Amino acid sequence: MDYSKIEEKMSKTISVYKENLAEIRAGRANPAVLNKIKIDYYGTQTPINQIASVSVPEARLIVIQPWDASILKEVEKAILASDLGINPNNDGKVIRLNFPELNEERRKEIVKDIRKMCEEAKVAIRSIRREGLDEFKAMQKNSEITEDELKIAEDNIQKITDKNVGEIDKLTEAKEKDIMTV
């Protein structure tokens, strides 16, 4: 019995969850917060990191230096239009993003958002488990596998599910600790 499709779908869910966690700012400057921001560069929606050098010289500062100085205003507009909540500081050569210290209320709000994302990821994992179980039940119904093989498959799929849910919990716990101790 092959569980590779189920494991692959679950690992994709976890990698999407990791990307989403990386985009949450925890009071520290993290270039991943810019991942979803794209600018119109010669008619193509292009991510900032493909048209500029992005660096983190200090813990609360991101410096964006476009390779083409003429797009500085476009980058600034895209950052302002995003839901990043930070005003870019443009000096004509580079854009600086200063990340303010998070207050306790905002930290708790972010943790609440993370828990919601965690639950959504777990729901996605459980949905993949259900699809896999349905597939094996259909195989058993069509007499392709025995009832004992179905039971073994159910146990194995549950073990895979538990492992992936545990991984999501670990990632969530680490991110919450990161946010609450910044």
Name the residue ranges covered by the structural domains of the chain.
4-22+103-180, 31-98
Separation CA 159–CA 97 (nearest Å): 44
Cα-only R_g, the chain: 22
pLDDT at position 124 is 94
Contact between 153 and 4 (Cβ < 8 Å):
no
Separation CA 135–CA 58 (nearest Å): 51
The pLDDT tens digits for 94-122 are 888 887 777 788 788 888 889 999 999 99
Q: Is the pLDDT of residue 25 over 70?
A: no
- Domain 4-22+103-180 in CATH: superfamily? Ribosome-recycling factor (1.10.132.20)
pLDDT at position 130 is 94
Q: Between 85 and 54, where is the model more confident?
A: 54
pLDDT at position 131 is 93
Q: Which of 64, 57, 66 is nearest to 28 (CA)?
A: 57
Separation CA 172–CA 166 (nearest Å): 10
pLDDT at position 152 is 93
CATH topology of domain 31-98: Gyrase A; domain 2 (3.30.1360)
Q: Between 25 and 61, where is the model more confident?
A: 61
The pLDDT tens digits for 148-168 are 998 999 999 999 999 999 999
Separation CA 19–CA 108 (nearest Å): 21
